[in-house]
Amino acid sequence: MAQYLLSVMEPTGGTPDPELLRQVMRDVEELDQAMRDKGVWVFAGGLHAPTSATVLRAQDGRVVVTDGPFAEGKEHLGGFSIIDVDDLDAALDWGSRLATATGLPIEVRPFRS
């Protein structure tokens, strides 16, 4: 078994239609339950907006604290799931299901072992 990170990439700016968001949340909850039922679900979570981020950088022997996201962009990490599956094909299958549930791009990456 290997663990994979399924990153949900959300568009920056704007708020989705409340009814669409409710449906997405229902679909994601259903998918999370399916992952639990199959024994592959490890952890999942949603993140606050990038503006809530704090970036820490080591510079000249001290740590510099900066408000806001690390990078400005049209998309940002909005949430994630960690799964434990047999191989990349299984991870891509669950990632595809998450892309369908959210309607958003999903990045699938293995953890280093």
CATH number, domain of 24, equals: 3.30.70.1060
Handedness of CA 74, 78, 82, 83 (dihedral sign): negative
Give the number of domains in the chain.
1
Task: Write the pLDDT tens digit of every residue in 16-45.
Answer: 899 999 999 999 999 999 999 999 999 999
pLDDT of residue 68: 83
First and final CA of the chain: distance in angstroms? Answer: 11
pLDDT of residue 66: 93
Task: Write the pLDDT tens digit of every residue in 58-111.
Answer: 999 999 999 988 777 889 999 999 999 999 999 999 999 999 999 999 999 999
Domain holding 19, by residue range, is 2-110
Q: In what helix (H) or strand (E) does residue 26 lie, and over which residues does it extend?
A: helix 18-38
CB 63 within 8 A of CB 56: yes
The mean pLDDT value for 48-54 works out to: 91
Integer Cα distance of 2 and 32 in angstroms: 18
